[in-house]
Homo-oligomer: A and B are copies of this chain.
Amino acid sequence: MGAIKRIGILTGGGDCPGLNAVIRAVTRSAHGAGMEVVGIMEGFGGLVNGLWRLLDEKDVTGILPRGGTILGTSNRDNPFNYCVRYEGDQPIFEDCSEVALENLEKMGVEALVVVGGDGSLHIALGLSDRGARVVGVPKTIDNDVGGTDVTFGFDSAVITATEAIDKLHTTAESHHRVMVLEVMGRNSGWIALMAGMAGGGDVILIPEIPFTFVGIAASISERRERGKRFSIIVVAEGAVLPGGEPVSRVSAAGTTILGGVGEVVAREVEARASLETRVTVLGHLQRGGSPSPFDRNLATRFGVKAVELILDGKFGMMTSLRTPDIGHVPIAEAVAARKTVPPDGDLVSTARAVGTSFGD
């Protein structure tokens, strides 16, 4: 094989601050190495459907500070389970990864950079197994991808969530209320923990440490005894009760409560602690906005590293931060295990030392 002349890049999964910084870095450093860059639109769906265009310098000028992705993305499009065939009225989704591979060839793409989270990296691995030359760049605001100290997007999400806690503090204090903030984190509590610590949250509920309503109420009572008549509760959407029971099934008075875990926690606390309680669900605000400088720089370093991996022929690899260095790990290794908060680790014990309760 001769020198690679054209590479492709796609962004998959939920949008995340820093995606554009990766696209810019990949494009510029590939151009600097004499390669062309094909932007594949709308994630893996666009790969199957053949949506693409050549990226030039003008496309990536000015995108560094912008959230989102100029390539578009899609959450659910998996080439291994995508093409539709009908049996009667019933749609059957089938593997059409062959089409994806053919399209890469049609585009003249000799190596592909896949920027994505757990799901996208699994697909990248599948394409790699079928012969595609793929390099991965990890992306998740949840920080639950293994094989790297951290991914871009996480710092920005923590900043957004911390600003929200800062804002809720004024209402909580002025009204002697309990304010509940629900943040992202279905499987891991990183955002809740880091934003909760940074915002001075009084109770932090995360999937890794099951909580009880009795535990929360005890913390709030204990605060009240010390003269603090308000509390801030930060809860990850995936917080669970002992035994891993999901919160949304539980009810205050025997009936089922609709709404997310934040709503449930708020109603229980109100009932048990006789304090007015309000809930805020941050939702997609955590994905939006201009990436933080940390995320812009990490994304830029990952992008440049991805091109280096291609030039070095290190396919099937994912870029990785091993502070202070950028390195690489096999994609297979990175996706093998989600990264979760160690319940007995230094971060949790630090939070406890400054007075935070985990409701346990």
Contacts and interface: CB of A to CB of B under 8 A. Distances in A.
Given A164-B285, A280-B284, A170 B350 contact: no
A353 B306 CA distance: 12
A64 B64 CA distance: 18
A267 interface: no
Contact of A288 (B167, B197, B198): B167
Interface in A284-313: 284-285, 287-290, 292-294, 296-297, 300-301, 303-305, 307
A285 to B, nearest CB: 5
Contacts of A42: 176
Given A179-B284, A284-B280, A288-B168, A293 B194 contact: yes
A90 interface: no
Interface string A236-262: 000000000000000000000011000
Interface stretch (A23-31, A96-104, A124-132): A23-31
13 contacts: A14-B171, A32-B355, A69-B174, A155-B293, A159-B292, A159-B293, A164-B285, A166-B288, A197-B300, A280-B283, A292-B292, A305-B350, A323-B323
- A-B CB proximity, top 3 nearest: A167-B288, A68-B170, A67-B170
